[in-house]
Structure formats: structure tokens, C-alpha cells
């Protein structure tokens, strides 16, 4: 049904959890507060880190935090980091394979239309759009406050507001 992985689902839960709270939270901590079992949370966090959505700090008092300001993170990135490039079929370019009927296939690459359509719309949904505003203050202040808290807490280290 055009489903997103369960892991991706969890990822958003965890990320939202991380969005309000200390800048650095351990996997165990996030597991407890989100209800997702530790090994699973761990797996997710590792992948998000590799995708440079999160950053990690090892050792005692270590944990995970956002690698950049959360409001620049789109759902495309979150989804792609958990399940690889968005490619509705094998026939979409840069996804290697083509379907078994390559030769006679009447529409080489036309799935791209569908694909880019989806990707496009996903780009417009940001991670913070998944947050229930109710738990914060006025929507208008929402972004500002999160950013403030996190960018402060993210003990400097960089900026790269890429994209």
C-alpha cells in the first residue's frame, strides 16, 4: 500500500521526541521516553547518524543530537535515510535495475514522473511538521523556540545550513 517502513515510522517518533528535550540524549533514554525498544531505537539512530541527520557523541554522557537545525530537515531525507533512495520501481533511473521486460517495455523510465511527483511533495513536508503543535506554544513561536533551544544546545561545532 505504498507503505513506509515501520522503522521509518519509529524514526519519526524518536526524532520528534528528540526535538523536545536535551540536545544530547542517549539511545537508552530515547527508548524509554518513546516506548520503542532499545535495540530498535539504536538501529534507527545509527542510520540517521550515517545520513547526517543526527550526530553522535561516544563515551560516557554521550548520545545523539541533531546534526543541523531541525527545521531544515525534510521528510524526504528522513525516509531516504531509512530506506534508501525513493524509487517506486526498479525502472527509475539511478536505481540500477530495470524490470524483467526491459526490451519490450513500452515506457522506459516513465515511472520517473510518478517518482519525482512523490519526491517533490515529500520535500515540502518538514520533520517539524510532524510535531503536534499543541505540546508547544503558539505555532508562530514554534520554530523559533525549537531552533533556539537546539542550536544553543548543539554546542556550536558547525553550521552548514545546507539546503
Output phi, psi for 93, to 5 deg: -60, 155
Q: Does 35 bind a copy of itself (CB under 8 A)?
A: yes
Q: Does 148 bind ligand FES (CB under 6 A)?
A: no
Stretch that binds ligand FES, among 71-79, 100-108, 118-126, 145-153 (CB under 6 A): 100-108
Output phi, psi for 37, to 5 deg: -55, 145
Q: Does 23 bind DNA (CB under 7 A)?
A: no
On whether the CB atoms of residues 71 and 147 are closer than 8 A, the answer is yes
114, β-bridge pairs: none
On whether the CB atoms of residues 17 and 34 are closer than 8 A, the answer is yes
Site string for ligand FES, 75-94 (x = CB under 6 A): ----------------x---
65, β-bridge pairs: 55
Binding site for a copy of itself (CB under 8 A): 1-4, 6, 9-10, 12-13, 16-17, 34-36, 75, 79, 83-91, 95, 99-101, 104-108, 110-111, 113-114, 117-118, 120-122, 124-125, 129-132, 135
Amino acid at each position: 500500500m505504498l507503505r513506509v517502513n515501520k522503522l521509518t515510522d519509529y524514526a519519526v517518533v524518536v526524532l520528534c521526541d528528540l526535538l523536545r528535550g536535551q540536545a544530547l540524549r542517549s539511545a537508552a533514554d530515547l527508548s524509554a521516553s518513546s516506548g520503542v525498544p532499545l535495540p530498535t531505537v539504536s538501529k534507527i539512530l545509527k542510520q540517521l547518524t550515517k545520513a547526517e541527520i543526527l550526530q553522535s557523541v561516544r563515551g560516557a554522557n554521550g548520545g545523539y543530537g541533531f546534526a543541523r537545525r531541525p527545521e531544515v530537515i525534510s521528510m524526504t531525507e528522513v525516509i531516504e535515510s531509512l530506506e534508501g533512495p525513493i524509487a517506486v520501481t526498479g525502472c527509475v533511473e539511478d536505481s540500477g535495475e530495470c524490470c524483467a521486460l526491459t526490451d519490450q517495455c513500452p515506457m522506459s523510465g516513465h515511472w520517473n514522473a510518478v517518482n519525482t511527483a512523490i519526491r517533490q511533495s515529500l520535500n515540502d513536508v518538514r520533520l517539524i511538521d510532524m510535531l503536534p503543535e499543541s505540546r508547544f506554544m503558539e505555532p508562530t513561536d514554534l520554530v523559533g523556540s525549537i531552533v533556539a533551544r537546539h542550536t544553543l544546545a548543539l554546542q556550536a561545532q558547525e553550521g552548514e545550513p545546507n539546503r
